[in-house]
Structure 1
Amino acid sequence: MSFDRSMARCSFCGRYSSDVRRMIAGPGAAYICDECLQLCNDILHDPAPFSPQALELASRPPVVVAAPQPLTPQERSAHTGAQSPVRTITIELEQKQQGMTLILHQLQYYQEFFELQYLWIRPPFNAGFAFVPRIIFFVKDNTGVQWTGDRGGMILARPDLASGPNNAVYQGTARFRPLPSPETRTLTIRAADPLGQFETPPSQPWQFEITL
């Protein structure tokens, strides 16, 4: 029986092969994508025993990977359509607060969901910090429909984009479903750092207004 290997998921980040440039197959149902492989390579070449990259990788929730199953014709068509966005909206909005910067880069529409791409620039976490929290997103359109980011979102450390030792850069995506309706004209996007409530004073959510 033949299987559709495009349904393989990276054992480190959970993304499907259609969401990455390259996927390397291991024994059984183990896979690793090119970005996670590069991250592992960076960790191996970092002399620090507990580098931020190593802590970020170790703190990720486990990815349950099952052996690929054969697809029905309807599933195959739906998955193929999700390989590339059907619409991309460039945003390039930026806000700063309490030493952190959040940059909203793009909205990408797929057949059944849409994704928000962003960069989070902030002071480095303290040594030994166990994980990098994902930013919490809340979206509302002009018709009153509301979304929160689902489990498809992810965040990756990008030390190559940092301008120096006093900041860390994280590249993230937040996924929302279903798609906005044709009546949607504007989106209000609120974003919060889950650790911000412990700051003095507590950080306030970022808020962006997007016209579609």
Structure 2
Amino acid sequence: MSFDRSLARCSFCGRHTSEVRRMVAGPGAAYICNDCLELCNDILNDPTPFSAKALELASRPPVVIAAPQGLETERENMRATHEPLRVVTLELEQKQQGMTLILHQMHYYQAHFELHYLWIRPPLTAGFAFVPRIIFFLKDNLGAQWTGDRGGMLLARPELASGPNNAVYQGSARFRPLPAAEARVLTIRAADPLGQFEDPPPTPWQFEITL
């Protein structure tokens, strides 16, 4: 795999090598210029949790960087070898306190399973540098339990939003091991981690799935 370093761009500000004094290379096609590195040092040395510099850095639009030659082919090969063995469509929906959780699909793999969902909620207020993931608790009729979000992901899907008053996120959560072959019912409880700060806190979503 090769990459022309003269095409390098800072992953934080998007400037090319010719536009900055120094560029520090990271793994793959990741780079940071001397100006952004100094900004990061200022943020680390600032005791304020959400300083103006930290919020400015977090609010920057993502920098799209060309992938190294051959990386896309490598990713395609990885996707081909990581296809689920079985996909179960759920399409279960619950609403509470202005939010909707839709359980979309379950993907079964060799040693783990994934729960794919859509989370529709009011947009987060200014100042959030991240989107908190939904926390899951799973239990089958045999007593086996799975907790938390095991290596899942959450992606913003603004094209699915019906207007400025809601935001849509597409997420997945990974759990292992697989349910036993004898399991017949899976109870899924899900909670918004920010809900603990509300008064009163919302009750968790709860779904039952027949396996």
Scaled to the shorter chain, the TM-score interval is 0.5 to 0.7
Corresponding residue of 1:72? none
**Residue identity opposite 1:164 in structure 2:** G
Find the residue that maps to 1:195 and give its secondary structure: helix
Instruction: Measure the CA separation in 2 of the matches of 1:142 and 1:129.
Output: 38
Matching residue of 2:93: 94
Quick check: which has more Rg, 1 or 2? Answer: 2
1:141 is aligned to: 140
Residues 18-167 of structure 1 correspond to what in structure 2 (within 5 A)?
29-30=27-28, 54=59, 83-167=82-166
Which whole-Å deviations, capped at 9, do the CAs of 1:13-63 have from their partners, x for residues lacking one? xxxxxxxxxxxxxx774258xxxxxxxxxxxxxxxxx79x94797xxxxxx
Asked if 1 retains the 8 angstrom alpha-carbon contact of 2:152 and 2:174, the reply is yes
CA distance in 2, matches of 1:131, 1:179: 30
**Superposed displacement of residue 84, structure 1:** 0.5
5 Å matches for 1:163-174?
A: 163-174=162-173
CA distance in 2, matches of 1:178, 1:81: 22
User: What letter is aligned with 1:30?
Assistant: G
**How much has 1:131 moved relative to structure 2?**
1.7
Question: CA-atom RMSD, angstroms?
Answer: 3.0
Distance in 2, matches of 1:171 and 1:91, equals 15
Structure 2, unaligned stretches of length 5 or more? 2-10, 12-24, 31-54, 63-77
Deviation, 1:127, is 1.4
3-state DSSP class of the match of 2:159? helix
In 2, the alpha carbon distance for the partners of 1:81 and 1:113 equals 17
**Which consecutive segments of 4 or more residues in structure 1 shift more than 6 A?**
none
2:210 corresponds to = 211
TM-score (norm 2): 0.64
Distance 1:195 1:56 in 2: 24
Kindly tell me: are residues 185 and 31 of structure 1, through their superposed partners in 2, closer, same or farther at Cα, counting changes over 3 Å? farther
**Percent of pairs identical after alignment?**
70
1:130 CA displacement: 2.4
Superposed displacement of residue 152, structure 1: 1.5
Relative to structure 1, the CA distance from residue 80 to residue 202 in structure 2 (aligned partners, 3 Å threshold; closer, same or farther) is: closer
Contact 2:122/2:166, CA 8 A, preserved across alignment: yes
For the 8 Å contact 1:89–1:107, the answer to whether it is kept is yes
TM (normalized to structure 1)? 0.64
